[in-house]
Structure 1
């Protein structure tokens, strides 16, 4: 039977773009025994959060020798702890060749992404256009800002709410076991008992606001704190959470 537009037979799959929340492990050097011990300590802090997550190994701050990198050992250690390594970000040519040999996806680091863009643009002639700061231009900028996603119902255990391009506003509680993610800020007009991840694409200026902090985990631009770390400051009160000098800072809303 032919698979044509008129036969009514559909293909077995389609390829679509997807935005997926992933955790990056910033590797500074690699020692097999120390790596596994440190990984288990991190998992014990929040076992539910780390179980079956996809993981990216970031080599952008790696200072060890390329010859010390053993991606097969890294993958094996992570799998024993129910973590799935799917790719490598950044790294030099030797490190990326080792990653390719371990069947890992290769993702550009920030600098590599910029160089690739420059290389692609090089053959083209640069044309500089005058831009005047008119009210029309300002209005266009405002219009182009991604709209906030608004959720009016409670986010229940096991649910995930995702705002891939802007802020996320939730007008109800986020229950334990639920997860909310946003490229921008997260506003929760109720108790936050689950997990909230803001700035998921790296926006360090993102913030989390909630009426009652009871979270399992909060994260901004990949920096996170778990429940045990949060209970010393602002627990069960209205707070905002922001990133300052690579540390998450919790501030009562009445003092913000």
Structure 2
């Protein structure tokens, strides 16, 4: 049976590099029984923030090289609490090899050099479960860097908007369950009730501005606070959020 000319292609797929906004779980303790309960507690305090999120495991902060990490158990326990580990960064060649044997390949940052990983016998790691995403994500495609992305409507629960390589301005409410992400600064000219993430590309100088500040979660360059931890913030007021060292500061505007 011949293939109609309109559907014929020279190749069945194409591969291209891309950058993604990923969370890094920097391991300070190699024991899954210590890491998972603490992470699950954060998960309960910010429901929806980490659910089915792709996560990279950082290995550089483990004392003594982190020998003896049980990557099979760690990956299985992360999936059990609905977090999806996709690989590792950093660590010694031996540690990266152990992780790769558990189905967690080494990743490299954009522009980084490929690192050799010695072969290791594969552990009996179960394949990751196929899950439907909890929320329908709305990523705004960006070809190259853009100075500012402007959204002239409210962001509904379940929506995610990411200003890649740009500032983000939202002229409307960010509703509970919605997520707005900017690699630069984030401005919300309305009620901020969802999750707000600025400095998505490790920009420590990024800031969050909101006319009515009442978020489920606010984050700058990986440092974040959930609603329970905002007791000292001026909730319901016009606020600027910025980092001072590793501490998040909340200043009233006007």
Tell me the TM-score normalized by structure 1: 0.79
* Aligned residue-pair number: 224
User: Structure 1 residue 149: deviation in Å?
Assistant: 0.4
Q: Which has the higher mean CA deviation after the structures are superposed, 9-18 or 63-72?
A: 9-18
User: Structure 1 residue 29: deviation in Å?
Assistant: 2.5
2:197 alignment partner in structure 1: 197
Give the structure with higher Rg (CA).
1
SS at match of 2:190: strand
User: Structure 1 residue 79: deviation in Å?
Assistant: 1.1
User: Structure 1 residue 52: deviation in Å?
Assistant: 1.0
Indicate if the aligned counterparts of 2:65 and 2:91 stay in contact, CA closer than 8 A. no
1:40 alignment partner in structure 2: 40
2:240 alignment partner in structure 1: 240
Return the alpha-carbon distance in structure 1 between the equivalents of residues 41 and 145 of structure 2.
40
SS at match of 2:250: strand
Return the alpha-carbon distance in structure 2 between the equivalents of residues 48 and 209 of structure 1.
22
Indicate if the aligned counterparts of 1:66 and 1:94 stay in contact, CA closer than 8 A. no
SS at match of 1:106: coil
1:9 alignment partner in structure 2: 8
Return the alpha-carbon distance in structure 2 between the equivalents of residues 236 and 180 of structure 1.
18
Return the alpha-carbon distance in structure 2 between the equivalents of residues 145 and 52 of structure 1.
28
From the two aligned structures, give the one with the greater helix fraction. Answer: 1
User: Structure 1 residue 65: deviation in Å?
Assistant: 4.1
User: Structure 1 residue 214: deviation in Å?
Assistant: 1.0
1:146 alignment partner in structure 2: 146
Q: In the superposition, relative to structure 1, how do residues 65 and 17 fare at CA in structure 2: closer, same or farther (>3 Å)?
A: closer
User: Structure 1 residue 16: deviation in Å?
Assistant: 4.6
Indicate if the aligned counterparts of 1:19 and 1:164 stay in contact, CA closer than 8 A. no
Indicate if the aligned counterparts of 2:52 and 2:84 stay in contact, CA closer than 8 A. yes
SS at match of 2:157: coil
Tell me the TM-score normalized by structure 2: 0.80
User: Structure 1 residue 70: deviation in Å?
Assistant: 1.4
Q: In the superposition, relative to structure 1, how do residues 73 and 162 fare at CA in structure 2: closer, same or farther (>3 Å)?
A: same
SS at match of 2:67: helix
Q: In the superposition, relative to structure 1, how do residues 221 and 8 fare at CA in structure 2: closer, same or farther (>3 Å)?
A: same
Q: In the superposition, relative to structure 1, how do residues 145 and 16 fare at CA in structure 2: closer, same or farther (>3 Å)?
A: closer
SS at match of 1:107: coil
1:250 alignment partner in structure 2: 250
Q: In the superposition, relative to structure 1, how do residues 12 and 205 fare at CA in structure 2: closer, same or farther (>3 Å)?
A: same
- Gaps (5+ residues) in structure 2? 115-143
